[in-house]
Amino acid sequence: MCGVFGVYNSKTPAEDTFYGLYSLQHRGQEAAGIVVAGYDEDKKKTVYRQHKGMGLVAEVFKDEELFDKLHGYAAIGHNRYSTTGASKSASNIQPFSLIYRSGNLAIAHNGNLTNSQVLRKELTEKGVIFHASSDTEVIPHLAALSREKEPVHQIYHALRQVEGAFSLVMMANDQLIAARDPYGVRPLALGMKIDPDTNEASYYIASETCAFDILSVDYVRDIEPGEILLIDKISTRTHKPKSLFLPPSKRKARCIFEYVYFARPDSTIFQHSVDKIRRNLGKNLARESTVQQNNGDKHLIVASVPDSSNTAALGFVRESNKINRPARFEHGLIRNHYVGRTFIQPGKASREIKVRSKYNIIRGVLQNRQIILIDDSIVRGTTARMLIKLIREADPKEIHLHISSPPITNPCFYGMDFPTKGQLLTNMFDGAENEQEEIESIRKYIGVESLKYLSLQGLLNSVPKFENETCSYCTACFTGDYPITVADNKGEKEECEC
Ligand code: AMP
């Protein structure tokens, strides 16, 4: 996954983008980059300046002098999250910035294209030279090959040819362009700030609205599925950016896992508050739960795996009390916030020390208690297994693991970092006679008294319904129902860029 950000008509575009990316850090911790558009007085035209690097936003942009160089009026930025191997190479760090026959072009992408290999092969045969191994790079090449005159029409032409998930922020000369695939898989929001003295608008684009809050920017609306939004000098005065639309898809397919885990709870994505939906997940999980408190215990102790499951746990406790199953939220696990995904453990770090570096238990809270532990999802099962081992050290009476989403049974081809089918925990127990037997095997493997996943219906009941849409979400990781054909690799999952 990745985070994208864009700003237009700001006196401090690089600084704004830095803070935007800083808020979107959870969407990608491997690399970060900013490309700024500024007017060059000598050349009498807009030039692009950039800085990119591996690591967290604050690490990549730790040198304050960088911001003196990155001056201008518009910028785009990108936080990258990927898995291993080639994607770790510096040439894959976005935004990509290039010069072509119509001038400057820069692009930052969240999502994953499902026909990029096919397109790449065709382009390579035409003589196109690729700089990176990322799927994103086909977009600027397709735009550059377009016979259209205006960059926005060249981009339209390019986006008609790509398939898959894309939420894009781009700059073409002195324009900012945002685009979202017709299925609307990944979120993308538009924000605005009006200068009270000049009445001029500054525009902002971000993967999540938490990036607007840090800059006191007002959320205006989402970029619509299939929309290509053009922001230029005229729209700063009229307050009306122009839109083009790609041909509509048969259905929409917003990634439901963004609500389950990925997005920050203080964000609004797909027009709805993530916090509210996570509470709904907890509420519906409480309704489906069959755990009853032991005789003599006043309350069930509900603990979350911080931070991603805190909100679902609050929803769970509230509903549990409503339906006469007294429950109390407790911080049973404490997370060390300074351990990122890029944390390097010296020596032969075991999986155990990795988990222990990230979480510790509060014995007094857990000891001799009946615990309901809430987590948002189980992917490979490593975290859950290790955490349960850790919690057992506090000697609780019972541990009931509740997951606020259904079992993940399929990889994601649209940008979520889910491993191949073979690496998913559910695959380990594929031979089970039925789902109940499979869950029982997972329960034993993780080592808990009971294991409860939220049902698919419970998940669907927790998320908002969109009017006039029969199918609004992508649930492929839970159901195998893939809304967009995967042309590349005959559907075999390979390394995910973004
Ligand atoms: P594991 O089962 O050990 O692979 O890890 C599952 C945990 O990782 C869950 O508790 C989630 O909080 C978190 N998680 C879920 N999806 C992802 C993802 N796409 N990338 C990184 N972490 C994730």
**Ligand 1 atom with the shortest distance to the CA of 382:** 3
Arithmetic mean of pLDDT, 372-377: 98
Arithmetic mean of pLDDT, 103-121: 97
pLDDT for res 162: 98
Residue 296: which pLDDT band, with cuts at 50, 70 and 90? Answer: confident
Residue 497: which pLDDT band, with cuts at 50, 70 and 90? Answer: very low
pLDDT for res 467: 80
Give per-residue pLDDT as tens, 45-99.
999 999 999 999 999 999 999 999 999 999 999 999 874 335 568 899 999 999 9
Catalytic residue among 2, 210, 496, 498: 2
Please say if the pLDDT value at position 342 is more than 50: no
Pick the CATH number of 261-482 from 3.20.20.220, 3.40.50.2020, 1.10.1380.10, 1.10.3720.10: 3.40.50.2020
Ligand 1 midpoint to CA 350 (Å): 18
**Does 375 carry a binding-site annotation?**
yes
What mean pLDDT, rounded, does the chain reach? 93
- Number of residues written out for the chain: 498
Please say if the pLDDT value at position 493 is more than 60: no
Residue nearest to ligand 1 atom 22, measured at CA:
417
**Does 477 carry a binding-site annotation?**
yes
Q: Domain boundaries in the chain?
A: 3-251, 261-482
CA distance 281 to 374: 11
Output the six-digit token pair for 414.
């649209």
pLDDT for res 498: 42
CA distance 152 to 317: 50
Which residues, in sequence order, are CB contacts of 41 under 8 Å at separation 6+? none
Ligand 1 midpoint to CA 423 (Å): 12
Q: 292: how many CB neighbours lie within 10 A of its CB? A: 10
| Cα 398 from chain centre | 34
More confident residue, 220 or 29: 220
DSSP state of 423: G
Please say if the pLDDT value at position 350 is more than 80: no
Arithmetic mean of pLDDT, 152-173: 98
CA distance 117 to 115: 6
**Ligand 1 atom with the shortest distance to the CA of 257:** 16
Residue 447: which pLDDT band, with cuts at 50, 70 and 90? Answer: very high
Residue 2 appears among annotated catalytic residues = yes
- The CA-based angle 457-260-339, given to 5 degrees, is 155
pLDDT for res 432: 80
Output the six-digit token pair for 146.
């377009």
**Does 474 carry a binding-site annotation?**
yes
CA distance 186 to 168: 10
pTM to 2 decimals?
0.94
**Does 496 carry a binding-site annotation?**
no
- Residue 430: asked if its preceding bond is cis (omega within 30°), the reply is no
- Residue 95: asked if its preceding bond is cis (omega within 30°), the reply is yes
Kindly report the backbone phi and psi dihedral angles of residue 193, in degrees, each rounded to the nearest multiple of 5, phi listed first.
-135, 135
CA distance 51 to 33: 6
Ligand 1 midpoint to CA 340 (Å): 13
Please say if the pLDDT value at position 490 is more than 90: no
More confident residue, 339 or 324: 324
Q: What kind of architecture, by CATH, is found in domain 3-251?
A: 4-Layer Sandwich (3.60)
Residues in contact with ligand 1 by the CB-under-6-Å rule are: 261, 305, 308, 375-384, 416-418
